[in-house]
Structure 1
Amino acid sequence: MKTISIKSHSFKFLVALWAIVFAGTAQQAYAQDKQAKPPISKRESARRSMHSRDSLLRALNKTDTSINSLLQRVEQYTTTFNQINNNLSEGLDTADISQQLPSVVRRLNRMDSLAKTHKSSTLRYLFVLRDNLDRTQGKLEDWQSQLGDIDSGLVHNQKDLIRFFKDTTLRAAPTDSTLRRTYFNQLQSVRHLWRKTDSLNRTALLKVNLLQNEIAVAYNRILDQTDQIDLKIKRFAIKAISGESDYIWNTGLAYNDFKAALSSTIKLNRILLNYFNRNEKLTNLVGVVFLILVFIWVFYNRIKTFKNNDNPVAIFERAGYIYKDPIISSLLIGTAIIPYFYTHPPVVCLEAMFLISIIVSLLLTRKEHPKTYYFLFQLFWITIVYGASNLFIQISNIDRYTVLILSIVSIIIGYLFLKKCQKDPEGHLPNTCLVLKVFIGLQLLSLLLNISGRFSLAKIIGVTAVFNLWLLVIFYLVVQIILQGLYLQFQTKKDANSIINWIDFTLVEKKFKSILVTVAALLWGFTLLQNLNVDDWANDNVHDLLSESRTVGGASFTFRGFLIFIAVIWLSSVISRIISYFYDVSAQRVTDLSVLKKKNRTSALLIRLGVFSAGFLLAVAASGFPLEKLTIIISAFGIGIGFGLQNIVNNLVSGLILAFEKPIQIGDIIEVGNRSGTMKEIGVRSSKLLTSDGSEVIIPNGDLISQHVVNWTLSNSNRRIELMIATAYGADINHTKDLLKNMLSNREDIMTSPAPSVFLSGVSETSVDFKIFFWAADITTTNALKSTVLADIYDMLPRENVAIPSARKDLYLHFPEGMPVVGGDEKGEAK
């Protein structure tokens, strides 16, 4: 043991000695080599340092220091999986869909069975089924969109999970045991989290996909049932036109059929009404809020008119409906407009609100149009029966005879009232005779169709004639009430800076009335299509017409895009005109020229050009027209400029120059050519000059740039006035100059800087002429100031003993001595 120990110590000693010798030799060799090698440059040293660092980084990447990037990647996956777990733990927003889908499927089964019964042979029943299918289809489309968004999120989650599973960089293991143990622990934890997250996400994705499949099946069933009902409607139309029954005298009454039809109608409308109230709560709330706002607006204007006007009765002469019946006037506006808030309301709801509108219209016409009231009162009871008949979903002979009687009675009362209107046209609603002729014609057509066995068409035309006549009366009253409310709004006293005071009600009434009439006409036409039961057909055909792509000259377009383009351009022009109107009003309300110039319309011109440019670009973008095609249009426009649009483009560019440089502003007094006056408007192509005689001269903008223009008010509104004053020959020049200068210096309406000046202009055998210069602060007062100064000078000169030359001349005649004077006196002087 000792021998081994000694040998071991000896071996260690030899090794240490050898290391010392080797280190010394190496150090000496290194020193000799260092002395032998020349010094390296700084650039070479930096290059070697860079290579050294790169080698070190490459070495470190192969060692345990790469664990940092691995741990960061694991941490990122952990954060992603935790976020997915949190989102999935909150639950999918599919509970309502899962709960409502079974009831939708049951409803589809019921409608499928109803569509196959004999009841579906009536047009009303078919349209009831079609409306229900449309509403259900819309709900399923919303569900599909909602589930599609959820499915997209789950698919994105699954992609993140798959990316973790396929990430090969996580398979690298650190060489250090401690680091390797830490890394594998965290990797094991994230893998456990991955398995849990993957299971939850796959379960949710499967649930959503199953729900999507169920909705897709229901949606396809709706499409099939819709096609089936559309085919039945088409067959019914053919049958209704060709004749669905025999002549009316070959049919008898059948009370059992009427009872069954009545029972089915009540049952179905109750179901539809309950479904409507359950699913249209938000729309109902919007309708109630709208009605409340209408009441507030009407009563606010009414109360303000009473409070803020000395003679409110005189104002209410133009607002009789709001003055006498504010409650029913407000109710009429609400009940006439609220039905259009709904997409597919049941007929029973429409007729309920329509009945309220009719009753309110009767009350208003009773006071304002008593001659028309009697006819409308008779038509009211006919409308009640027509409305009840319109709800029937089955054909019965009693219903057919009822419609026949209604047609006859409508023709009689319409004809009698038409004769009265022709004899005494005053006091009736506008176009009453024309409307009555159309009404009688439609009722006569309904009568003939009913007699010939085309009962469904007869009912449709009869109901349309009555309902749309009432709708004309309702919309006429609604337009009048709204205009009366606006009139009261403008008559209410406002603050001086209120925008209401800046608007001309006559112009607003004219423009707004045309808009209201247009909207009312569109709504009336829409209701007409609904009453004729062709609204869906018209909607489908119009949609196809507008959406179909057409190609002209290699460019594709649709009529929808074309209409959008026109609408946006029209809206831009309306906004431009509104801006121009308010600038006009603001200019007319300001009397001080300096303030007027601050509100000049040159800035309005730039705004109008900006609105037009933005509107054009929006119109092109909204219409779907390819922007690259604009180059073709611009090229064609350039060719047009070269051939015949030079003057127009010149005026347009001149308008831009006037807008930016502002050599002329609204309110400036200018002279151009042989015209002078006040600048009234600077337009895009031309401008308007208001002359002193009241005429408006339209001047192309190019003339304002190319011709010599005298602007009297460019920098200020001062104007120099020059007068010529003549005194009698022999007047004291200095005294007269002092008198004139003192008189001009002591006036408040003459500027002191520059000071007035008086100069001797000329001396003749009959007069001494003076020239007077003074300045008026406001050019608009030039003529008045000149007149006042002349009058004062005329009064002052005689008072100061300064004679004014007279046109009278003395004539002296000398005759030779000895010649008799004819007509002379005894002394020989001529008389």
Structure 2
Amino acid sequence: MINARYVLRIAACCLVGLAGCFSVAAQQKNSADSTFMQKVEQIGKSEVTSSIAKYQTERKEARQRMLLEAIRFEIQKAGLFLKQTVDTSDIVRDLAKSKKSYDIVIDGIFKNQGTHHTQRNLTVSDIILEQISISLETHRATLNSYYKTLSDSRFRIDSLSSDSVIYQFPTDSAAVIKYFKTMLSIMQEVAPLDSFITNAVSNIQELLQEMDMFAYKVHTARNEIEKLNTALSIHLGDREFPNLWEKPKNKRPFPEILSISRKKELLAIDFYVHDTKWRLLLFSLLFLCVSIFLISLKHRLKTEQLLQESNEGKLVVRFPLAAAFILTSSIFQFIFLDPPFIFSFILWTISAVCLSVLFYRYITGFWMRFWLIMVCAFLLAGVSNMLLQASRMERWCMLALQLFGTIYGLYILSSRHKHALKENKILYFVSIFTLIEFIAAGFNLFGRYNLSKTCMIVGYSGLIIAILFLWTVRLVNEGLSLATQVYQHPDKKLFYINFHKVGNKVPPVFYLFLIIGWGILMGRHFFIFRKIAGPLNNFLTTERTLGDYSFTINGIFIFVLILFCSLFLSRLISFFASEPDPTRGNTDRKGKVEAGSWLLLIRIIIISVGLFLAIAAAGIPLDRITLIIGALGVGIGLGLQALVNNLVSGLIIAFEKPVNVGDIIEVDGKSGTMKSIGFRSSVVVTADGSSLIIPNGDLLSQHLVNWTMSRNRKRLNLVIGVAYGTDLAKAEALLLTILKNEERIANNPPPVVLARDFASSSIELEIFFWMNDLRLGGIVKSAIIQQIDQQFKAAGIHIPVPQQEIWLHKPPTDTTNQ
């Protein structure tokens, strides 16, 4: 239905038009007509004014509705965020726990400190405060994120609420009442949420203030401990306590020392385990892999009846789980960066127990007693090292352990049982241990407590770790030797690793790594080691700027290291994976296909993932990568088409698998066995032993014949000529008998004998037969020829030799001329 307003507007326009058309006539009319025109103009102006007011009113109402809905949406979104995301209860609980931990840490340092500070107490306390500081920083970042989100919501709500349009009310009383009802319903809905948001923001602010004050206390305490530790390391050789036979100045009850030490050590390991749970998971997975390998190796040895009564050379599979833990903990313990002593002590103790299990009835009684005594003494030294404050009782116990180590070490070095020692290098470490314990006893007697305690634990832990490392090398050598002996060919369960290429002994560089690792483990006991590592770490992590790009030396090292490791792992997989031997006819086809099909793809994935991880770890911006990709695109367009073609062809081979490693192929008339498929080219070993390198692009673009795809089946033919007059039926039956008696010829489809042609000196017969393994084609063909020759001779069938008769015609003699 047409609105009356538009009818009036149209009528007014028509009237104005008519007035224009008859303007000439209007000039001649009476002045009374001008009154009519004025009324018409007033009607038009009134309608225009009314339309404009109506439009503004509707626009204002639409704006009001939009603002009210936006306010409602923002309030609801903020409320949903508070309900689903913001939960400060865990943060409050962790903050209370951190404050308790802080109270425990300062005991023995800032209160009840005793005569002198101890290095172990300062080190453990600093480790705990560092973890508290990390936890506070994490929670602070979370709270700041909450606060920013809620503040932004409040800002948007206040911005919407301050719009003056909301407070412009309609002129109609009925419309005003309706508008007030709408606002009231919205306010009733959002008022509780608004109050909730206000309280949440206030609580977060208070929690942040409390956290900032506590973080300042922790930071101050860490600085004080750093100063004490530095002063202690500078004056490490100075007298700290009275001589052992003199009366102590201050004395704290030993039960209190034991209690505070236990609390601090448990806090240290609790924080560290929580912080390194992913490394612990990785360590567990490595232990599981090594265990599965050793259990599989032991099962294989049992299956092949290679396990004998003697354990010589087979100690690694005697107790696979114990050996696996020793190997894993000795080699992979360095993934745990700067662990507290209690964590390392637990790891070393479990390893020592596992090695004791392996030693049972394997080494002589004398050396077994030596090992058990050393393990027990190491446990006592470790417990003493975890006492964080000095006491006279502990000093006497330390002296007893130090003198015992010195005397027992001298006894071992002078004993007559050295010939029965399985690892003679242990004696060098026994000598070092004896000397260190003697020096530690001297320091203890004359009041150098910290230096004495450090030397004592270095001596005992150094000897235990050295023995563990030496036997780790022995176990690795045994494992490799047994694997080389058992796994003659690559096995699926071991990812087709070729142990003949790995070797039966670890490389000499492995010993160097273990020696360096032993030095690092011993150096961790000295605070000076941390002081040296600190400036080095600052040098590596300091951010440097080159143009618009910021980088760190550590980031560059990580980039190069990850990239090198990915390339090395890719080459390692290519080297250790099985490669078919063309001279061996009896090859495990299934293993070759499974390994070869995915080898190139696995290498590409490793390098790609390594490249992206290296870029992410180095912090290289993605816009730089875009520039590099653009430059590569220009290079590809200018002159790298052939290289890219070969790379893409390699990917096609990896995914579509038209050819696999170990397949027998024929390319451009040259046949051979596919040895390897690389990124750019592939290697084919021909029948004469030469390696033919074919670019991947040529491999796909040429007519490639893959005999292996047809299960190595091939039809062969042979032409035999028999003399004219031979009974062809007899010859055909004889040939079929020879072919059927050959077991290496396939029965389906059966052999066929056909008369081919009348030759110049014979009738040619052609035989067709199928081979199940085309690699035996030459041998079988030779055997068939020999059988045909023997059988034809016995049956009187003649194989003619091509002959040609030459007739010499002499013309008659002319007697007349004569």
Q: Per-residue CA shift, 1:92-112, capped at 9, x if unaligned? A: 633454466466556646755
Partner of 1:782: 777
Partner of 2:786: 791
Partner of 1:240: 236
Q: Per-residue CA shift, 1:320-353, capped at 9, x if unaligned? A: 7698668977997999999999999875676567
Matched, 1:547 2:544: no
| 1:435 corresponds to which of 407, 429, 434 | 429
Question: Kindly tell me: are residues 434 and 772 of structure 1, through their superposed partners in 2, closer, same or farther at Cα, counting changes over 3 Å?
Answer: farther
SS in 2 for 1:679: strand
Supply the distance in 1 between the matched residues of 2:679 and 2:296 (Cα, whole angstroms): 45
Q: How does 1:225-304 map to 2 (within 5 A)?
A: 225-241=221-237, 243-244=238-239, 251-254=243-246, 256=248, 260=252, 262-272=254-264, 275=267
Supply the distance in 2 between the matched residues of 1:710 and 1:73 (Cα, whole angstroms): 72
Partner of 1:180: 176
Supply the distance in 2 between the matched residues of 1:797 and 1:91 (Cα, whole angstroms): 94
Question: Kindly tell me: are residues 160 and 692 of structure 1, through their superposed partners in 2, closer, same or farther at Cα, counting changes over 3 Å?
Answer: same
Supply the distance in 2 between the matched residues of 1:29 and 1:289 (Cα, whole angstroms): 92
Partner of 2:526: 532
Contact 1:726-1:805 within 8 A present in 2 as well: yes
Q: How does 1:196-235 map to 2 (within 5 A)?
A: 197-235=193-231
Partner of 1:827: none
SS in 2 for 1:369: coil
Question: Kindly tell me: are residues 179 and 797 of structure 1, through their superposed partners in 2, closer, same or farther at Cα, counting changes over 3 Å?
Answer: same
SS in 2 for 1:688: strand
Contact 1:306-1:312 within 8 A present in 2 as well: no
SS in 2 for 1:115: coil
Supply the distance in 2 between the matched residues of 1:498 and 1:663 (Cα, whole angstroms): 24
Supply the distance in 2 between the matched residues of 1:112 and 1:421 (Cα, whole angstroms): 52
Supply the distance in 2 between the matched residues of 1:178 and 1:118 (Cα, whole angstroms): 84
Greater shift, 128-137 or 300-309, is seen at 300-309
| Per-residue deviation, 1:26 | 10
Partner of 1:825: none
| 1:569 corresponds to which of 555, 563, 568 | 563
Partner of 2:731: 739
Question: Kindly tell me: are residues 164 and 724 of structure 1, through their superposed partners in 2, closer, same or farther at Cα, counting changes over 3 Å?
Answer: closer
Question: Kindly tell me: are residues 797 and 466 of structure 1, through their superposed partners in 2, closer, same or farther at Cα, counting changes over 3 Å?
Answer: same
| 2:493 corresponds to which of 500, 504, 508 | 500
Contact 1:502-1:585 within 8 A present in 2 as well: no
Contact 1:758-1:771 within 8 A present in 2 as well: yes
Q: TM-score, normalised by structure 2?
A: 0.70
Matched, 1:362 2:317: no
Greater shift, 482-491 or 308-317, is seen at 482-491
Question: Kindly tell me: are residues 458 and 34 of structure 1, through their superposed partners in 2, closer, same or farther at Cα, counting changes over 3 Å?
Answer: same
Partner of 1:18: none
Contact 1:673-1:707 within 8 A present in 2 as well: no
Equivalent position amino acid for 1:217 in 2? M
| 1:74 corresponds to which of 68, 73, 85 | 68
Question: Kindly tell me: are residues 133 and 507 of structure 1, through their superposed partners in 2, closer, same or farther at Cα, counting changes over 3 Å?
Answer: farther
Q: Across the two proteins, how many residue pairs are aligned to each other?
A: 748
Q: Per-residue CA shift, 1:697-755, capped at 9, x if unaligned? A: 2636389679999958498656565657577xxx4365469725972598453766997
Contact 1:490-1:500 within 8 A present in 2 as well: no
Supply the distance in 2 between the matched residues of 1:652 and 1:422 (Cα, whole angstroms): 67
Q: Per-residue CA shift, 1:416-473, capped at 9, x if unaligned? A: 545669952x652474244345445544664676688755334313311211321344
Q: How does 1:39-58 map to 2 (within 5 A)?
A: none
Partner of 1:314: 307
Q: How does 1:251-650 map to 2 (within 5 A)?
A: 251-254=243-246, 256=248, 260=252, 262-272=254-264, 275=267, 314=307, 351=345, 354-355=348-349, 357-370=351-364, 372-395=367-390, 403=398, 406-407=401-402, 409-418=404-413, 424=419, 427-429=421-423, 431-440=425-434, 442-443=436-437, 446=440, 454-474=448-468, 499-500=492-493, 503-504=496-497, 506=499, 527-533=521-527, 536-537=530-531, 540-550=534-544, 556-570=550-564, 572-573=566-567, 576=570, 584=578, 601=596, 604-605=599-600, 608-609=603-604, 611-627=606-622
Q: How does 1:751-830 map to 2 (within 5 A)?
A: 758-759=756-757, 763=761, 772=766, 774=768, 776-777=770-771, 778-803=773-798
Supply the distance in 1 between the matched residues of 2:591 and 2:328 (Cα, whole angstroms): 44
Question: Kindly tell me: are residues 502 and 208 of structure 1, through their superposed partners in 2, closer, same or farther at Cα, counting changes over 3 Å?
Answer: closer
| 1:701 corresponds to which of 691, 695, 700 | 695
Partner of 1:10: none
**Superposition RMSD in Å:** 6.2
Equivalent position amino acid for 2:145 in 1? D
Supply the distance in 1 between the matched residues of 2:550 and 2:373 (Cα, whole angstroms): 56
Supply the distance in 2 between the matched residues of 1:128 and 1:359 (Cα, whole angstroms): 26
| 2:151 corresponds to which of 155, 164, 168 | 155
Equivalent position amino acid for 1:791 in 2? Q
Greater shift, 782-791 or 110-119, is seen at 110-119
Partner of 2:38: none
- Percent identity of paired positions between Structure 1 and Structure 2: 19
Q: TM-score, normalised by structure 1?
A: 0.69
Contact 2:329-2:347 within 8 A present in 1 as well: yes
| Per-residue deviation, 1:234 | 0.9
Question: Kindly tell me: are residues 90 and 691 of structure 1, through their superposed partners in 2, closer, same or farther at Cα, counting changes over 3 Å?
Answer: closer
| 1:166 corresponds to which of 156, 162, 165 | 162
Supply the distance in 2 between the matched residues of 1:311 and 1:101 (Cα, whole angstroms): 61
Equivalent position amino acid for 2:261 in 1? N
Supply the distance in 2 between the matched residues of 1:611 and 1:289 (Cα, whole angstroms): 19
| Per-residue deviation, 1:183 | 0.8
Supply the distance in 2 between the matched residues of 1:664 and 1:442 (Cα, whole angstroms): 64
Q: Per-residue CA shift, 1:563-609, capped at 9, x if unaligned? A: 33234335544664687589858999997999899769477535534
Partner of 2:810: none
Equivalent position amino acid for 2:791 in 1? M
Supply the distance in 2 between the matched residues of 1:407 and 1:415 (Cα, whole angstroms): 12
